[in-house]
Structure 1
């Protein structure tokens, strides 16, 4: 893999809590150096949101990963996350 999108559901605390586990699995399989982004999905469900922005920003810093909030339902920021992971992957390849 050249890039990883670590996505969680903003309405489910358990999925946010699992991001660290998912990243540790990536590291276990030798992916610690790949480009990565953190994505909080389902921002269209504002009334059900459980993960507040500072929590996600803190995790983003810890993972050294750009952070985006998206909505697959409305399409908000969906193209942007794929453009960003492609950009990061390309930059990484050029630096190698």
Structure 2
């Protein structure tokens, strides 16, 4: 699926969730803390999906594969590492305690 199709599926699922929460709220009553929390969370999800839909064009551009960089198999020049210590072995001119 494409990003747009996935976002549309999320939106449909979220709409079904909101409808279900409304039905439960009618059965239970809207005064309880739990149902208000669920209603608020569903509203936050709606806002988040709306923001994601707005950002979708930028996300689609980010989906494109970046240019690959070829790394040669040749060994590195050892002169690059003359000022570093061997990890775990300590410095070359010192002894372990």
Q: Note whether the superposition's TM-score is higher than 0.5.
A: no
More strand by share: 1
Q: Which has the higher contact order (CA 8 A, sep 6+)?
A: 1
Higher gyration radius (CA): 2
TM-score (structure 2 length as normaliser): 0.31
TM-score (structure 1 length as normaliser): 0.32
